Structure 1
Amino acid sequence: MDSTRTEHQDAFEDHRRALLGAAYRVLGTVADSEDAVQETWLRWQKVDLAAVRDPRAYLLAAVTRTALNIVRSRDRRREEYIGPWLPEPVSTDVAADPGRAAEVADEISLALLVVLESLSPLERAAFVLREVFALPYPEVADTLERSEVSVRQLVSRARAHVRERTPRHPADASTHRALTTAFLEAAEGRTPLAELVEVLSPEVVLTTDAGGRAKAALRPIRGIGKVLPFIAGVLAKPEVEALSWAIHEVNGRPALVGHEGTRVDCVVWIEADGAVTTRIDMVRNPEKLGAVRL
């Protein structure tokens, strides 16, 4: 390997983790994020390093542009996607593969990814570059090919939206685990499902993503009066009754994993405001469960 290639590789490896984190926040899937990082690497090899003032900023801009191109292509496919779309969970506990995806996902909660997904692609990219990686507004503007004024508006809207969708009193680690354990005990039939009323917000929202590959609701279900009967109906289905349930760390937080032997059937995670669950999200699409380990 020649010296030029080594210099490029060294600079890229120094920032690979940040690049994967930026792409995962914009895209919400591991495979697409790794594709974006790989494409950025291929282009980076041809860059004149003497002309690059700040490799980190340059690479973050490059991977974000690539991620946005993937989003635009994927949005066309998304029109044909069956039901709601949720981000791809990644195991981050001791059983997880020690790969870069797990290292990055440990810092990026699924709850945050759900919120970011509700932003427009440009708002998401602007928010990630400015709020997560602290790039100056002029550099964000260059990356997104927008004026600085426009980018400031994008970031302001995104910041307000994230603040709106974020619990006022996020549950601490012990409360989050206790709530997840309550769902585990209900799933296993150790406690009556009706007892979940005590830990559910009246306005709780349940979203299931199966992509047409498994049984799931085609729209979010809102309100405790609809969510509880839906959960009861799901747990009563023979294919769900056959599952074993366990709590594993996913994206740095406890989540409920339903599995049959070594096959992962679903991942369920919650978001809570104080000691009350406000969101329940479930992924059953097998294409999104490849990064979950038992």
Structure 2
Amino acid sequence: MDRSDTDIFAAQRPRLLGLAYRMLGSMADAEDAVQDTFVKWRQADRALVANAEGFLTSVCTNCCLDHLKAAHRQRVDYVGPWIPEPLQIEAGSDPERDLGRAQSLTTAFLLLLERLSPRERAAYLLREVFGKSYPEVAAVLGVSEQACRQLVSRAGRHLQDPASRYVPAADHQDRMLGAFLAALESGSTDRLAGLLSETVQFSSDGGGKTAALRRVLEGRAAVAKYVARIIGRLWSSGRPKLLDINGLRGVAVFDGSRVVTAMTLGYDADARIDRIYSIRNPDKLVRLTRPLRHDPESGALWQ
């Protein structure tokens, strides 16, 4: 492989990483898929590669599909709810514009992708997030253009959940997080309940490796009570810090220099908190202190 081939891959790597993370919900798995893509790029006969970007996208997508098969088997035995790995995403120069375009990184959206078949997920992301044409997506997946359109259409119907679509302004997110932390510190169930929608859900991912609720808790009263009494106690000795997590403002709780909890929120159309995601699995928190850059136009992620 000569220098130009290496440069071609390096230029495409952030976009491939953005695709792989959205496909897999895990940066470790995404990095593995991108590395597998690089190996296959090195082995490819350049005379048969007419479009390097298309070739790399196709290889990376299919590597992700292989990873999803293995991940499905592993998640059958996963302890408690599974939540995607949180990432600290640096805010861009235009926060309001970036908020809307980063919707495909939010925890709520990534969890909705879990409802899709692997091929539906790939087709939807390539078409709707990465802007590939239907013929390009069909070529990547090895299906007809008509079948590709059906995959994207089915995926779109599954993703019609308002919780994944509403992204409030950054200042509203900061106000809600500030009020949430103040209510948590006070231990007031009523103050917490006032921030929550009636249909709020609380999910906690400990992976069986640390204390976490092993079921999804639903309803304003139950969630407010649990957060005030249990989360308040778990966070009492930690140091919370506001971070930009997966396209939204979130909270990381530190024990010294180590992150022990990452919390992100989802909002309903009235801008009330409708989803609370608490990630406590230590394996998913090791990268949170290393910010990533996100290009809203291309979906690329830079480490």
TM-score by length of 2: 0.85
Structure 2 equivalent of residue 7 of structure 1: 4
Identity across aligned pairs (percent)? 36
Structure 2 equivalent of residue 18 of structure 1: 15
1:41 to 38, 49, 65: 38
1:258 to 225, 228, 253: 253
1:66 and 2:67 are equivalent in the alignment:
no
User: Pairwise mapping of residues 69-218 of structure 1 onto structure 2 (< 5 A)?
Assistant: 69-93=66-90, 108-166=105-163, 169-189=166-186, 192-218=188-214
Structure 2 equivalent of residue 100 of structure 1: none
Deviation at 1:109, TM superposition (A): 2.6
Aligned partner letter, 1:283 = I
Aligned partner letter, 1:267 = A
SS at 2:132's partner residue? Answer: coil
1:288 and 2:284 are equivalent in the alignment:
yes
**Superposed CA offset, 1:164-209 (max 9, x none):** 34456431111112112222222333x7342122221100111111
Deviation at 1:262, TM superposition (A): 1.4
Q: Aligned-residue CA RMSD in angstroms? A: 2.2
SS at 1:188's partner residue? Answer: helix
Write the distance in 1 (CA, Å) between the matches of 2:125 and 2:231: 38
Write the distance in 2 (CA, Å) between the matches of 1:60 and 1:214: 37
Write the distance in 1 (CA, Å) between the matches of 2:185 and 2:130: 42
SS at 2:159's partner residue? Answer: helix
**Superposed CA offset, 1:29-59 (max 9, x none):** 1110001001100110122333323221221
Q: Which moved more, 1:124-133 or 1:243-252?
A: 243-252
**Superposed CA offset, 1:203-244 (max 9, x none):** 01111111111122222111112111111231354x442222
Runs ≥4 residues deviating over 6 A = none
Aligned partner letter, 1:83 = G
Aligned partner letter, 1:276 = R
Deviation at 1:62, TM superposition (A): 0.8
8 Å Cα contact 2:198/2:219 also seen in 1: yes
Deviation at 1:269, TM superposition (A): 0.6
8 Å Cα contact 1:270/1:281 also seen in 2: yes
Q: Which moved more, 1:112-121 or 1:271-280?
A: 112-121
1:241 and 2:231 are equivalent in the alignment:
no
Structure 1 equivalent of residue 299 of structure 2: none
Deviation at 1:267, TM superposition (A): 0.6
Q: Which moved more, 1:226-235 or 1:78-87?
A: 226-235
Structure 2 equivalent of residue 219 of structure 1: 215
8 Å Cα contact 2:184/2:227 also seen in 1: no
Write the distance in 1 (CA, Å) between the matches of 2:113 and 2:103: 17
Deviation at 1:159, TM superposition (A): 1.6
SS at 1:163's partner residue? Answer: coil
- Number of residues of Structure 1 aligned to a counterpart in Structure 2: 279
Structure 2 equivalent of residue 268 of structure 1: 263
Q: In the superposition, relative to structure 1, how do residues 221 and 126 fare at CA in structure 2: closer, same or farther (>3 Å)? A: same
Q: Which moved more, 1:136-145 or 1:273-282?
A: 136-145
Write the distance in 2 (CA, Å) between the matches of 1:57 and 1:271: 34
Q: In the superposition, relative to structure 1, how do residues 68 and 18 fare at CA in structure 2: closer, same or farther (>3 Å)? A: same
Q: In the superposition, relative to structure 1, how do residues 222 and 106 fare at CA in structure 2: closer, same or farther (>3 Å)? A: closer
Which structure 2 segments of 5+ residues have no match? 92-101, 291-303
Write the distance in 2 (CA, Å) between the matches of 1:228 and 1:166: 19
